[in-house]
Amino acid sequence: LKEEFSEIAPKCIADDAHVPTVIREVPHIERLARWCHRYVTLSIRELNLSANARKFKILQSQRWVSTELDVARYIKLFPSQMHEGVRKYPTVVRGALKVNGVGVGFDAEARAEIIMAQVKAQEDKLKVLERLTPLLGRQAAELYGRFSCKPSTTFNHQARGNEPSISRVPLEHAGEMQAHLFRTVTATAPDEIRDVQHDANPAGPTERQ
């Protein structure tokens, strides 16, 4: 593929392939479609693997909708796959895609939503842990929360892979959940340990009791 399409440089992470491509004219879209067809063919022939063309996603900015360079207009040039009796083509995404766990795209809100979805899953885990506190004991519950659900560890990848303008709100929410669990296991009131960290609190530090 590198020999035939030298201008296309795919990035591979584990079994995922990402293909950053510059589109300036329609022939570039046609050439990308040919790359995808060759990728599918080589995956089957050389690796004995199905590339699942119906699961391909093409990320393109909203600004190109209904223009000559709108990839959706040429979607039938790309490889397709029969699924449950229906021919499926790749999906054109306008907001953001999750690449190696991190939101990538042209829409800041969509990227933040990818982080928030992971934060919500973390919130569910912490709620379960909170309900199990009487069974586990406060010390064990606090240790589980600190070492298995600590936001600075579980969302480290998100913090490093996104600008603060994208990640700040979801990660602050993750910190609030951790503070809530800590108050539960230590029987501490919200006015003693607030959700917002001191250095991020515009009202100033919490007064010592």
Quote the pTM value.
Answer: 0.73
Name the pLDDT band for 197 (thresholds 50, 70, 90). Answer: low
Region 98-124: mean pLDDT is: 89
pLDDT: which is higher, 57 or 157: 57
> Quick one: pLDDT at residue 194?
75
> Is pLDDT above 60 for 50?
yes
Question: How many helices and strands, by DSSP H and E, does the chain display?
Answer: 7, 8
Nearest CA to 11 among 77, 100, 78, 85?
Answer: 100
**Mean pLDDT value across residues 60-89:** 95
Strands 57-59 and 91-93: parallel
pLDDT band at 179 (very low <50, low <70, confident <90, very high): confident
Amino acid at 18: H
**Distance (Å, rounded) from C-alpha 191 to C-alpha 209?**
10
Distance CA(82)–CA(63), nearest Å, equals 31
Burial class of residue 39 (count of CB atoms within 10 Å of its CB; 0-12, 13-18, 19+): buried
User: What confidence tier does 207 reach under pLDDT thresholds 50, 70, 90?
Assistant: low
pLDDT band at 204, cuts 50/70/90? Answer: low
Instruction: Examine the pLDDT at 31 and tell me if it is beyond 90.
Output: yes
Q: Which of 25, 55, 23 is nearest to 40 (CA)?
A: 55
Q: How large is the C-alpha radius of gyration of the chain?
A: 23
Q: What is the pLDDT of residue 183?
A: 84
Q: Is the pLDDT of residue 209 over 70?
A: no
Residue 64 above 80 pLDDT? yes
Q: Is 98 exposed, middle or buried (0-12, 13-18, 19+ CB in 10 A)?
A: middle
Q: Is the dihedral of CA 192, 197, 203, 208 positive or negative?
A: positive
**Per-residue pLDDT at 76 exceeds 80:** yes
